[in-house]
Amino acid sequence: MRTAPLFLLILALLGTQGWMLSLARPTPPPAPPSPPLPAGRKADEEAARHDRIKKRRMAEVERLRELRFTRPLPQEVQNRRELRAFLKKELDTEDWPKDEAVARHFGLVPPGYRLREGVEALYGEQIAGYYDPRTRKFVMVEDRRSLGGLALFALDPAGQIQEKEIMVLHEMDHALTDQHFDLQRAMDAAKKTGNGDFRLAVQSLVEGDATALMLDAYNERHGLPTGMPIDAGAMERMLLLVQFLPFVGGEIANAPLYLQKSMLFPYLGGAAFVSRLRMNNGWASVNGAFRDLPASTEQILHPEKYGMDEPVEVRFRRPAAIPGCRLVTEGTLGEFLIRLRAEVAGYPRVDSLAAGWGGDRYRIYERNGRTFSIWHTTWDTEDAAFDFYYGAPVFAGGLRISKRGHDVVILQGIPNEILADASAIAWDVTLSRH
């Protein structure tokens, strides 16, 4: 659960929220230095000051989130070297060869792009602090570098920078919800299913909760109502502006669109999802979502479907084995990645192409150094299936696309000599809702 400073830059651009943007604001002359204190006394006073600030922020989070901390919140400071070591350990828990195979095969990243290295560089640059649900510690990163070396912050009317405090509240929200809903257990359970779409939906709830609270804190400090509706689409459009500004630079501007949007979706889409839940019964509705987790990114993108439109589980009946071929990985894309795949390919109507998603399952194989895939999708209505059927050719050249009722199958890169085997596997599935 990482808070990227770029996310706060996007928030700063949202004029509809009454926020202001300052670029390279002149720095006022420094105040005369105070007389130095003895080293021991200085350290003690600094520790006491940090503890007072932490307690005030914890009380603010409790009040805004309408929950109470049930135990103390340890905190520590890391330097960039320690952060990189922590990040490497976290990234080592993921299966990067499989993730890269999926991203490359489906055209989400350029050929040869090293996904792990891109993620590590991106997060290593962006992280200002984080909450670790395994150790249950709040960690601040010292000597954080600014993007492009310029001041780009959300300002209050007096010009006071609030970015770092707002980030602290975001991570403290993670700590608070973890104490009540065990975030690590929820994320681990989602990971074990092997359903990446479900995992992204759970992450979106977690990050969306903290982002919504962060917005409430900012609005309250500026005399605006809390619990205001959040438009994820408008926030995303701000990203499209930010990434082309010359002073931003850094890894986020150079990252593939897939990586940019995958990083930001849990914050932006998650905040919009939480905002919609709160319209029903306030934070109590969000608490209920932690007990009954969202099952798909479709539910995050369309909050009205949460609890009403459960995804269809697609299972291949036949074993994965195809003579002379190696199964690389199997998984579910879900509505968010289908939309993103279409967007990367340049399709102009990504919403309509992926609307009405019911469920999907793919298998990616390798044969003689080349990958191919079978992908079975199912849709809520036949009209939705037709929309996908007619839009799917944008994904790649040479696709074999077939439709039966609500279901559409796409075979990509299949050698002719194994076409029959692949088609038989792709269409022989079971469909079930939970």
* Structure token pair of residue 9: 């830059």
- Asked whether 201 and 305 are in contact (CB, 8 A), the reply is no
Question: Which residues, in sequence order, are CB contacts of 164 under 8 Å at separation 6+?
Answer: 128
Phi-psi region of 258 (alpha: psi -120 to 50; beta: other; left: phi over 0): alpha
Separation CA 400–CA 397 (nearest Å): 9
Residues 312-433, CATH architecture = 2-Layer Sandwich (3.30)
Q: Name the token pair of 231.
A: 């438009």
State the DSSP H helix or E strand holding residue 132, giving kind and residue range, or none if neither.
strand 129-132
Q: How many Cα atoms sit within 13 Å of 261 on the Cβ side?
A: 18
- Residue 34 burial by Cβ neighbours in a 10 Å radius (0-12, 13-18, 19+): exposed
Give CA–CA dist 166/168, Å, rounded. Answer: 5
Give residue 433's Cα distance to chain centre: 25
pLDDT (tens digit, 0 to 9) for every residue of the chain, 434 residues total? Answer: 544 433 333 333 332 332 222 222 333 455 555 566 566 676 677 778 777 888 889 999 999 999 999 999 998 888 888 888 888 888 898 899 999 999 999 999 998 889 998 888 777 666 777 899 999 998 887 754 433 222 223 334 443 435 567 778 999 999 999 999 999 999 999 999 989 999 999 999 999 999 999 889 988 888 888 888 887 776 666 555 544 443 344 566 778 889 888 888 998 899 999 999 999 999 999 999 999 999 999 999 999 999 999 999 999 999 999 999 999 999 999 999 999 999 999 988 888 899 999 999 999 999 999 999 999 999 999 999 999 999 999 999 889 999 999 999 999 999 999 999 999 999 999 999 86
CA distance linking residue 406 with residue 387, whole number of Å: 11
DSSP 45: H
Contact assessment for residue 139 and residue 76, using Cβ atoms and an 8 Å cutoff? yes
Q: What is the DSSP letter of 226?
A: S
105-128 in b/e form (b: 16+ CB < 10 A) is bbebbeeebebeebbbbbbebbbb
Torsion sign across C-alpha atoms 281, 286, 292, 294 = positive
Q: What pLDDT sits at residue 122?
A: 74
From the list 376, 345, 346, 347, the residue with the least C-alpha distance to 363 is 376
Residues 1/130, Cβ–Cβ less than 8 Å = yes
What does the alpha-carbon distance between residue 121 and residue 117 come to, in Å, rounded to a whole number?
6
Alpha carbon 289 to chain centroid distance?
17
Closest CA to 65 of 220, 263, 202: 220
DSSP assigned state of 31: P
Show me where the domains of the chain are located. 5-26+45-304, 312-433
- Residue 180 one-letter amino acid: H
